[in-house]
Copies of this chain bind each other. A is one copy, B any other.
C-alpha cells in the first residue's frame, strides 16, 4: 500500500501540479491550505480530472496529520509560520521541503537566508524528530500541469538521511521526473539558488519553463 502524501500549500501551482502527478501515480493525496474550502475544491478538481477519488483536502494541519510523507510548497514568506503551525504533527515523518527563499521584488537575485538555505532552516526549526529532504525547487509548475507529459528537468534531492533521500528520489520518479541524489541538506543551497537563476534566464531569454539537467549520468 502506498504512503499518503500531504501537500501543504497544495492549492498553489507547484503544489497542485505535484499533487496531480502523485494522485495520477496512485498515491493517496491530501491537499493542505490555509483555506480548507480552497483545499477541498482543489482536491475535487484533481479527482475530477483523473476520474477517481484519491484526493482529499483541508487546512494545513489537517493535511499534516494525515500524511505519511508531508510536502511543503508554500511561498517563502509563509515558510516559518506554516512549519510552526504543524510541527508536532510532523514528528517521526519525512518532510519534503520545496520552498525557495525568494525575496520580492528581486526574485531573480539569489538571496539565501542566514541558515544557508530554507531547508536547513526548516530542519533547525523542526529538530531531529523530523527528517527534512529538499527537492523539486527547479521544476516549473507549467511543466506539471499535464499529469503524464514528459518534463525536461531533473530534481536535485538533498538530505542528511540517505534512505529518506531515496524515498524522495522514488517520489520524483512517480511524478514523472528524474530525481538525483545531490548530497547533504546543506546542498539545498544550490537548488534553491538555482531557482533565482532560472527566473533570470526565463526573463532574459523570453522563456517560461527553463530548467536544469545533470549531464554525464548514464541513461536510466
Task: Give the interface of A toward B (CB within 8 A).
Answer: 108-112, 116, 140, 152-153, 156, 158, 180-184, 186-187, 189-191, 193-194, 196-198, 200-201, 204-205, 207-218
Contact = CB atoms under 8 A, between A and B. Distances in A.
- This chain's copy number in the assembly: 2
B210 A212 contact: no
A70 to B, nearest CB: 24
Nearest to A140: B216
Contacts of A184: 108-110, 200
A137 to B, nearest CB: 11
Given A112-B116, A215-B211, A190 B187 contact: no
5 contacts: A109-B187, A110-B190, A112-B116, A153-B215, A182-B200
Nearest to A158: B197
Contact of A112 (B140, B189, B191): B189
A144 to B, nearest CB: 14
Contacts of A183: 108-110, 196-197, 200-201, 204
A208 B196 CA distance: 28
Q: Is the interface of A mostly helix, strand, loop or mixed?
A: mixed
A207 B216 contact: yes
B110 A189 contact: yes
A196 B182 CA distance: 9
A140 to B, nearest CB: 8
Which of A108, A112, A205, A214 neighbours the largest number of chain B CB atoms within 10 Å of its CB? A214
A82 B76 CA distance: 38
Contacts of A207: 216-217
A190 B196 contact: yes
A180 B204 CA distance: 10
A173 to B, nearest CB: 16
Contact of A212 (B205, B209, B212): B212
A189 B193 contact: yes
